[in-house]
Structure 1
Amino acid sequence: MTAILERVTVGRCFARASNHPGGVPDAIRLMPPSDVSEGYEDVFPQHDDLLITSKQIAARGAFEDHEPGLGRLVFLFHLHGRRTVEVKGAGRHDLNLPKFVAYYHAEGVVKTSFWSQGDTETSILVGFSPQKPPPVVNSALRANSDARALISKPNCPCFWLEFPLTLEMERAARQVSAANIHPAIMREFLLAKADELLCLGSDALLASFTRSSDQSAAERIKLDLVVKIIDEDFRTTPTVGFLAERVDVQPAVLSSLFLDRFGFTISEYCARKRMDMANRLLATTNMPLKQVAYEVGYNHISNFNLAFRKTFGVTPRQAR
């Protein structure tokens, strides 16, 4: 495992700490450039070169990081914040909403991450070699020929597939990002969480390949429009009836399509957008808590505090 850890740090602007502050065996902590950012990237090696990475980054200024490819398949669970990623052969992508991404980072291909001033990021990554996939991923490959064709090719080209971050994914990923586990059993805890995240990610891949031939282009266009309408004014929660009328779909059908595609209801999507914006304002401004609550659509600070704590596990004041 030492070899893979050494390769993780090659050519990057992140500096490696001499020791992991949590005392977790074999774990390493990487720190972004201190003059323009704060936070950390914790890398936890598991069996068979399986790596779990927890990112907690806050950018005070713009910076970028260049990460060489190790020929690994990565399941990325982006919880909140913003980062732009560019991979040669897979394009440029914005991580600005909660989402699950499955991507392949080919050997020697540079992945560049960009943070702008005020950007924050909380995410969990699980990476492994597609030639030696963990058992749950191997089961998914055996179950679906499309997944097998995409992932199991020798010299696989880079690819990037985005999916909704389901509530189950978010719950499991947050348990990793905020883990308060004794170092003696941290590896076993992380391995169990990695298996859970790999199960959920593999399920999303299999479901997408099954749905891709069934879901019409018209339905996708209508759902994209619904998301656009919500994003333009996420401070309010439009009724399903209003949205259904805008896209000419029965309310019950729209609710079912939205839940099937994104993994959560329309009201849950609105709530997540509001909380992510609140977290961003807390991290990047000195705005009073009452004003933050108002900016994301809450007229009463008590309701805002309750919703924020339910989402992130801490109060807005503690988060700041």
Structure 2
Amino acid sequence: MSPTGFESQNLSLPDIEPVEIDTLLANPAFLAENKGLADNRKSCFSGIDNVEQPMSFSSFDDGFHMVLADYVGSEDFVCRVNSPNWLKFYFRLEGSNTIVFDGAGEYRADGPRCMVITQPEGLEKADFLGTEGHNSWVTIFLSPDYVVNKLGVDPDGLPKSLAKFLTTGVSDLHCQSLQLSLEMKTIIAELMESPYQGPIRRVHSEAKAMELICIMLQNISREFLDTGKPSATLYNSARLEEARSILMESFSNPPTLAALGRQVGLNRSRLSHDFKTRFGMTVYDYVTDIRMEQARAMLRSPGLSIGQIAEVLGYTHARNFSQAFRRYFGVSPRAARKQY
């Protein structure tokens, strides 16, 4: 049985070796090389030598991975993938492709779209991309355990096929197509054009990917329940990710807890409690983490004085910055610079 929106035409799977996502993610060397890879465009698939900017793979957690691509090629590109144990969120910013499931039909995706995909064990998928213009997309892979236990999603609020997959790990073919909202387009563009480098870019990429996840889960839940209101869990998840994104972008002059709560629609106590529960640290500690990681990266630049770094990071006095740095790393900024 083909899912809604699929057509049974004559495209078949290409005669190439499939990329086994489970095998890829079980390879410690691959994960070590790509852990949090977000500022380094690197191909993780074969057969795309003609691509100007290869795909990049980012691994944020054992159950949370992302592929980011801005494909401009001189030849047609075909990719064959087997990923039965993952919930896939697919966001296409521009371009078009045809998704083919072996023996189960195919789906043509043109222009901005987003899709939710699960596939049964043994059912392979292939993507056919043409050469006209750009093909920009993001694919997020989530394990059932991550969705249920780390994101706290209640499967009962989702379509039956997704609920079955999240609770049993056994998947039917599920392919749900949704409109790509302006909010999603903005987030994808921010992922593609991140102004950050190093560890801050990783934080930024993970936060933006999590925003996409929250929006998708909220939309799926809303469409299924037909209430117009997302569940409290999904609502809070989206607001917390928004809070984290605000802190990451304003770490040099962060808002007060009360002001941050007003921006994201959570009261001060709820924000404080839920932020620590979700991210394992207080809002203050999160800002300190960002500042210190940024400080460490900036100390590698000999052109910046300690005072200049302190000013960029939002400290009114270099002494305050030095004290905070020593508390965090156990050495002074000057000593750390010599080590680097």
Give the TM-score normalised by structure 1: 0.54
- Whole-angstrom CA distance in 2 between matches of 1:9 and 1:123: 24
In the other structure, the counterpart of 2:61 is: 47
Deviations 1:93-120, CA, capped at 9 Å, x for gaps: 1221211111114444321111223253
Residue of structure 2 in register with 1:206 after alignment: 221
Residues 1:175 and 2:208 are matched in the alignment: no
Name the counterpart of 1:290.
none
Provide the C-alpha distance between the structure 2 equivalents of 1:177 and 1:123, rounded to a whole number of angstroms: 9
Task: Give unpaired runs (5+ residues) of structure 2.
Answer: 1-19, 228-340
User: Which residue, out of 105, 111, 116, partners 2:130?
Assistant: 116
Name the aligned partner's letter for residue 193 of structure 2. A
Give the counterpart of 2:171 among 156, 159, 162.
156
Residue correspondence of structure 1 range 255-266 to structure 2 within 5 A: none
* Total equivalences in the alignment: 202
Greater per-residue strand proportion: 1
- Taking the TM superposition and a 5 Å limit, the aligned residue runs for 1:1-320 are 7=24, 28-30=42-44, 33=47, 36-88=50-102, 91-118=105-132, 120-133=134-147, 138-144=152-158, 146=160, 147-149=162-164, 151-211=166-226
Shift of 1:35: 5.8
Residues 63-72 or 201-210, more deviating: 63-72
1:142–1:81 Cα change, 3 Å: same
3-state secondary structure, aligned to 2:55: strand
Contact map agreement 1:84 1:92 (CA 8 A) in 2: yes
Secondary structure of residue in 2 paired with 1:155: coil
Cα distance, 1:87 vs structure 2: 2.2
For residue 224 of structure 1, what is the aligned residue in structure 2?
none
Distance 1:199 1:186 in 2: 20
Distance 1:95-1:30 versus aligned 2 partners, 3 A rule = same
Name the counterpart of 2:256: none
CA distance, structure 1, for counterparts of residue 184 and residue 128 of structure 2: 24
1:202 deviates by: 0.4
> Aligned partners of 1:97 and 1:197: how far apart in 2?
18
1:60 shift after superposition: 1.6
Deviation at 1:89, TM superposition (A): 6.5
Distance 1:170 1:158 in 2: 26
Q: Which residue identity does 2:24 align to in structure 1?
A: R
Against the structure 1 CA distance between its residues 36 and 24, is the aligned structure 2 distance closer, same or farther, given a 3 Å change threshold? Answer: closer
Note if contact 1:67-1:110 (Cα within 8 Å) is conserved in structure 2.
yes
**CA offset at residue 74 of structure 1?**
0.8
Q: 1:39 aligns to what SS in structure 2?
A: coil
CA contact (8 A) 2:65 2:141 kept: yes
Secondary structure at the counterpart of residue 147 of structure 2: coil
* DSSP-derived class of the 2:62 partner: helix
Q: Please state whether the residue corresponding to 1:59 is helix, strand or coil.
A: coil
Provide, for residues 203-259 of structure 1, a one-character-per-residue CA deviation record: whole Å limited to 9, x for no partner.
1101221239xxxxxxxxxxxxxxxxxxxxxxxxxxxxxxxxxxxxxxxxxxxxxxx
Mapped contact 2:147–2:166 kept (Cα < 8 A): no
Q: Is the 8 A contact 2:48 2:54 kept in 1?
A: no
- Computing the radius of gyration from Cα coordinates, the structure with the larger value is 2
8 A contact 2:78–2:127 mirrored in 1: yes
Aligned 8 A contact 1:31 1:39 in 2: no
| Distance in structure 1 (CA, Å) of the matches to 2:214 and 2:165 | 18
1:197 and 1:207 mapped to 2: Cα distance?
Answer: 15
Deviation at 1:7, TM superposition (A): 1.4
- Match for residue 4 of structure 2? none
Cα distance in 2 for partners of 1:87, 1:65 equals 12
Normalising by structure 2, we get a TM-score of 0.51
Number of the residue aligned with 2:245:
none
Measure, in 2, the Cα distance between the counterparts of 1:35 and 1:194. 27
Give the letter aligned to residue 93 of structure 1: Y
Residue identity over aligned pairs, in percent, reads 17
Stretch of structure 1 that moved more, 148-157 or 68-77: 148-157
Question: Secondary structure at the residue paired with 2:190?
Answer: helix
Alpha-carbon shift at residue 178 of structure 1 (Å) = 1.5
Structure 1, unaligned runs of 5 or more:
11-15, 213-320
Letter in 1 for 2:134: T
Helix, strand or coil: the match of 2:171? coil
Per-residue CA distance 1:182-205 (angstroms, 9 max, x = gap): 212222222211221111000110
Q: CA deviation at 1:148?
A: 2.2
